[in-house]
Structure 1
Amino acid sequence: MPDAQVLLVGAGPGPVDLMTLRAVRAVESAQALLYDALISEEAVALAPAGCVRIQTGKRAGKPSMHQDEINRLMLRLARKGLRVVRLKGGDPSVFGRVGEESAFLREHGVSVEVVPGVTAACAAAAQFGFPLTHRGEARRVVFTTARLEAGKLSADWSAAADPEATFAVYMGGEMAGALCERMIAAGRAPGTPAVAVEQAGGANARICHGTLETLGARLSGHGGPVVIVVGEVAAQAQGAAADEAPIARTA
């Protein structure tokens, strides 16, 4: 039996044509495909006939596998000699738990290959015509996530005060108002441009323009995945006018 191996593959932000060629080839050759909830049907359909397809992700409060269950399932399938592909939205190394999964598999004698993908912030910038870095405005990019601990935003947001940093905040839709307030409290100017992009990279993507002072109030309800981009570069974003209907909040 060949050495056990698992491929941790980035599917990009959704559309199949934003997947890398290596990612497409990985899925096309999969014998067992474990995919997240936000993976498009078109991406899953790339898997060959006879491939074991298992949805592992969580969305809208529906039941899902715990991480330790996913780890054990990958290990079990790999030890059976199957070519296992773990398909993740965006890039596996950006809030994709690639470190945890890689460590677990390697500790159990399974080799790991990581296939990168287009992450949501990059997809949003490309789709709506703004850069993430820009001479004289943004010298660095911070990828972060808005998570709750005891009902409050976690982590130290002092870095948000840096006027030359672009902040790309994942999973921040529901906490957009509190997030903006926290960044202002940390020292970022209330008038700093900010946009929220829903379903970045997809045909149904939507953008909401604003500033740290106004963006939170423009998000309402529940919709698709949202990435929030804060920084001077956000002023260059194209798309729907800021006074149009707000897009939905989401986790």
Structure 2
Amino acid sequence: MEIETSNRGKVDMMLAGIDLAWKNEKNPTAVSIGELSGHHLNVTGIHPALSGLNELKSIILLQEELYGVAIDAPLVMQNSFGQRHCERQVSVDFGGRGASCHSSNLERYPNPAGVELSRHLESLGFEHLRHADNGKFQIECYPHPAIIEIFSLPKRLAYKKGPTDAKKQGQVILSNYIKALGRSNVISLSIIDEFQTYLDHSYIRSLSGEALKTNEDVLDSIICVYIAALFSHSVPHKCYGSVEDGYIYVPKQPCVN
């Protein structure tokens, strides 16, 4: 499939990565838009600090040629209590490396934003785990284990919790890994100049409070859109759980040397 874009020629498909706030009415969401051409992904749009599902849906509708979406949030949730089976499975494989899953259930999240978003995407033709050759797809992903696999790390990269200085340093390290994807032989990554600030060390170290959290969300959304690109290329992976009861897609492909 090829899409004609007015300024950049032809791309294979347009993809989105969404770091979705699970409690969407309280916390912001970040979205990265990328254009995949062969084995190269170019991030051409970043939408930070979106408020609520309606704003997010509007951004999605603006991407008329959007073909695939990877979302960091539970998209299928049937369990009333405890963890989904896929969350328990991921925790078995990655818990020893610091990347266990949070628990998602209908008691804790009676109106889960991810489920609503997923159903909206389904109404637009995006099917769960559909092979990219067969039409539009959506997948649930989880950045922590994906980062471990993509960058061949021994354990979870710490950039979300702890003292502010520790979170800043974690984001600096993650930004370096993201930049390293520019030389990947699997799928190389570029980000247009307008959005390079999110990876800038001095900028990250200048942040605090909500601004630091917004930058974290943006970095996660970049990882998510990269995961969407990996899915479209059918790289080695493991899909925990099922579409019926909830699943998490984790690429098993090292992408940098």
Normalised-by-shorter TM-score class: under 0.3
TM value normalised by structure 2: 0.26
Q: Which has the larger radius of gyration?
A: 1
Structure with the greater relative contact order (CA < 8 A, sep ≥ 6): 1 or 2? 2
TM value normalised by structure 1: 0.26
